[in-house]
Structure 1
Amino acid sequence: MASIESTKTSAAGVFLEKNMKLIAGLAAVLLVFVVVAVLGTSISSKSIEKGLSQVDAVEYAFRKDIDGLSAEDFKARQDESLASLEGLVSKGGIVGIRANMLKAEILFEQKNYEESRTAWVKAAEAKKSAYTAPVCYYNAAVCSENLNDLDAAVSYYTSAVGSKDFYLIDHAYFSLGRVNEARGDFEKAVEAYEKIESLHASSRWANLAKDRIILINSAKSE
């Protein structure tokens, strides 16, 4: 009789290999969608406007003609941008959020997942009610997976799905289920997968989740 562990290794392995492009977290891509999110913060203050202008300047300098850079020049630009952000990441409010998100993205590209995670969490906790917070927690979870810190990944994905308005909530719940499967907690995995169906039964993530539930329950019955 095949164990749940062995079934998971074979079936889940094939499934994840075929669908990795679809289910993998993409921190750098996510940033593009949230930098213009409404944070509910007034920017009438001159100091805030100045701070945002500084972050914008760093980001513009970082991205300008980036596709034509050699690997060496790209690394140098990353380091320059990180240095330029140091005076901004300690600020509160929207300036600190934007600065830490850009810092986190650059560090993620450098595969410095530990420090990237720290920056994502700092950005999230700067204003937990902001629309950016669940995205930052999601990316912190992605970093945790890259660090093979699955317990932390579960914690951050759980924080991400805590916001009902999170536009990637189905993806986040699927990732939560997937990580719980990897941890061997199949009950929690099924709970996460079932949550997707209760929220958006016709979504592609709900369909993928149904397949995972079938495989888990099938392995239990063998």
Structure 2
Amino acid sequence: MKNFLSNFLLGATSQQKKTKYPGPVIMISRECGCSAKRIAIKLSKILSGYSYHSETKTDVEWRWVSKEIIEEAAQELEMDPGRVKNVFLSEAKMNLHEVTTAFSTDKVYDAEDQQVIDTVRNVILRIAEVGNFIIVGRAAGSIARDISHKLSIKLQAPLDWRINRIMQISNMSKDEAQEYVLEIDRQRDLFVEHVNGQKMNNNDFDLIFNYATMQDDYIVDAIINIMKNKGIIINNENES
């Protein structure tokens, strides 16, 4: 299972025709406390039932990925995944960014760091172009914004709700849960800013859901219906 993404991308890229439209792909961004994983798992199962490859007469499986992107980039760079992740999340890098941006909007990286960033971006783009993937996080919504058959989604909720939810699913106190939520949000924002070159805003998303007021099934149903209406997946109900 560890190398499934490498093997899949290698095979899919070699078979992919130039005339094929990139995608389809779903990108899900989420605030800490909003379970994008549960949404991605449900979507992958339902969408696999809608996918049918007319050329090979076979069903096409939808998969979801998140940390596998870092692992794939690390494998291509022959680097430890922790080193790849550290490029985006290290306190030293953030402090350097704060100093340099006081004088310029340009970001400063050493050559190795820039290679890591470029590789992660390329992995995300390849996944999006191959299609039939749900990408959780990793600034994918902005990186793959030009993919025609795509849907970019954000899951958000009020801070107090997210803190309470983390308290419910863990043994953390309120102060610990708040510190955890804010730190995870900070790390994700920092990752996005490094990979994307800028922070993401609501204009980068096609759909935004309030996870505090929407059940998983409602969110999944809404996504499926919008994908049907946009022609990203075939509406089997309209077939004869």
User: TM-score with structure 2 length normalisation?
Assistant: 0.29
Higher share in helix: 1
Greater per-residue strand proportion:
2
Give the TM-score, by structure 1 length.
Answer: 0.30
* Highest RCO, 1 vs 2 (Cα 8 Å, sep ≥ 6): 2
